[in-house]
Amino acid sequence: MNKLTIGQMAQLNHVSEQTLRYYDKLGLLKPNEVDKETGYRYYSIKQSARLDMIQYMKSLGMSLKDIKEQLNNCDIGLIKSILEQKSKQIDEQIEALKFQKRAVERAIISYERYETSPPDGTIVLEFIGKRKVYSYETEINFYEYGLEAYEEILRNLKQDLKNKGLPQIYFCNAGNIVSQENIMERKFISSEIFVFVDREYVPAQLIKTIPANIYLCIYCNKFDKEISYAYRLLDEIEKCNYTIAGDYICEVIADLPDYDDNERGMFFRLQVPVKID
C-alpha cells in the first residue's frame, strides 16, 4: 500500500475526505502526489504520522494555525508555552461551567419553590433556616418610588456585582430589608436590597447572614400589592400576640417569564421573624 487515494487515507485514519482537502488547502498536510491530468490526490501511509500529530495537537485544544506553525518550526518551547496557556484557558472554562451549573441548579430550586408555594394572599408560619446574602445600599427609600425606580436599582446592583467580581448567577430573585425598628412602627423605609449567595463563591467580608427563625409569611404575586399584604402580615402578628424578632424581608421566590405591560413578573414571600410567647 505505497500509494493511497484520498478516500483510502481518510478511511485508514478515521477522518473525512473533506478534512484532508481542508488540511491540504491550509498547507498542513499536502498529498504526497497529485495527478496533473486528473487532479487526484495520493498519499503515502508514512504521512499518517504527521496526521496523527495534527489530531493529537488538535485534541489538546491547539488551533490549526498554531499546529501548522509548530509543525513547520518544531519549537518544543513554544509548543509548551501554547499548551500552558491552553491549560489556563481550560481552567477558566471549567470555573465558568461550575458557575453556570450552579445558576441552573438555583433556577430549578427557584421554580420548584414557586410551584409548591401557597396561593397569593396565603399567610403561613414557617421555619426558615440561616441564609447568606450580599446586600447593596441604594441610598434612597425605594418605597417612595415606583417600579421604574426598582428597575434602576437592579441595574445598579448588577453593576455592583460586576465591580466586586462576583458571579452574575446571583443577579436573580433580589429582595429587600426593612429594619426591625421601622417595621414595628409600620414604616416602610428601605434602602437595602440583597441577593442570596453561596459562601464558597463570595468573600466572607461581603456576606451578611439572615438568621434562622420562625417567620410569619404571606405570599404575593404583584409588585404593587406588597405594602397592603405586609400590613395584613403585621395585623396577623398583633392578632396572634407574636413579637417581632428581627427585620422584615421581602424575598422574590421566582422571576417569572410573564411580562404584562412590560412589568417584571415576580412571586414574593413577605416575611417577618417572630417570637411566639
Query: How far is the C-alpha of 216 from the C-alpha of 128, rounded, in Å?
Result: 10
Q: What is the pTM of this model?
A: 0.70
Residue 210 is predicted with a pLDDT of 93
Q: Are residues 270 and 154 in the same domain?
A: yes
Write the single-letter amino acid at 22: Y
Local confidence band at 154 (pLDDT 50, 70, 90 cut-offs): confident
pLDDT at 270: 97
| Domain end call among 74, 106, 127 | 74
**Is residue 92 assigned to a domain?**
no
Find residue 242's DSSP bridge partners: 276
Residue tagged 456585582 (cell numbers) = 161
pLDDT of residue 190: 92
Residue 262 — pLDDT band, cuts 50, 70, 90? low
208 part of a folded domain:
yes
Based on the structure, what is the number of domains in the chain? Answer: 2
Cβ 51 vs Cβ 15: under 8 Å? yes
DSSP, res 93: H
Query: Does the pLDDT at position 199 exceed 60?
Result: yes
Last residue of a domain, one of 14, 41, 74: 74
Read off the pLDDT of each residue in 233-251 and give the average, rounded to a whole number: 96
Last residue of a domain, one of 74, 90, 108: 74
Whether 107 is in a domain gets the answer no
Based on the fold, state whether residues 166 and 232 are members of the same structural domain: yes
What is the number of other CB atoms lying within 10 angstroms of the CB of residue 152? 14
Q: Residue 17: give the domain boundaries.
A: 4-74
In a domain, 217, yes or no: yes
Residue 242's pLDDT band, with cuts at 50, 70 and 90, is: very high
CATH code (residue 141)? 3.20.80.10
Overall average pLDDT of the 96-119 stretch: 88
Q: Who contacts 48 (Cβ-Cβ below 8 Å, separation ≥6)?
A: 9, 12, 13
> What's residue 260's pLDDT?
62
Based on the domain organization, do 146 and 208 belong to the same domain? yes
**Gap between the Cα atoms of 248 and 234, Å rounded:** 10
Q: At 202, phi and psi to the nearest 5?
A: -130, 130
With respect to residue 255, please indicate whether it lies within any of the assigned structural domains.
yes
Residues 144, 262, single domain; the answer is yes
Return d(Cα 197, Cα 130) in angstroms, integer.
Answer: 12
Identify the pLDDT of residue 259.
Answer: 59
pLDDT > 70? residue 261: no
How many Cβ atoms sit within 10 Å of the Cβ of residue 146? 11
Domain annotation covers residue 256: yes
pLDDT at 208 over 60: yes
State the pLDDT at residue 79: 75
Q: Is the pLDDT of residue 37 over 90?
A: no
Q: Which of 12-21, 128-137, 168-177, 258-267 has the lowest average pLDDT?
A: 258-267
